Structure 1
Amino acid sequence: MNDAAAVSKAALACADAGSEREALQIIMDLDTFLHEATTLHGAVCLIGRITRADERRKTPDD
């Protein structure tokens, strides 16, 4: 089981136990991590595109 699944199960357990506030806080924390991961992934993809574009611009004499 990965960390996201474990966190989701923890939030579900809190909700099932009647602690909706704690469940919501867990999910909001998870949302923050997912947003940061998405931003990081976008940055890595952009760096890859820039690198590939730079490699295509280079001539064999470089």
Structure 2
Amino acid sequence: MKTSVYIYIVPVIAVVSSGVLLHENITGIAILVIILTLAGLFISEGKLIVKLSWIMFDTTTR
């Protein structure tokens, strides 16, 4: 599972580092793709589902 995290995070790091180091323009589409990639990564690793289920089924705050 760790390998898939690195495979999916490489393009995100490439876009961010090209913006920071090379002063490339990061377009809205690139930002959208980064958000979708990170969301897919969190969903596939199960971390987002656990947090959402905790929020939905938390009875202490109601």
- TM-score by shorter chain over 0.5: no
Q: Answer with 1 or 2: which has the greater Rg.
A: 1
What is the TM-score when the length of structure 2 is the normalising length? 0.39
TM-score normalised by L of structure 1: 0.39
**Structure ranking higher on relative contact order (CA contacts 8 Å, 6+ apart):** 2
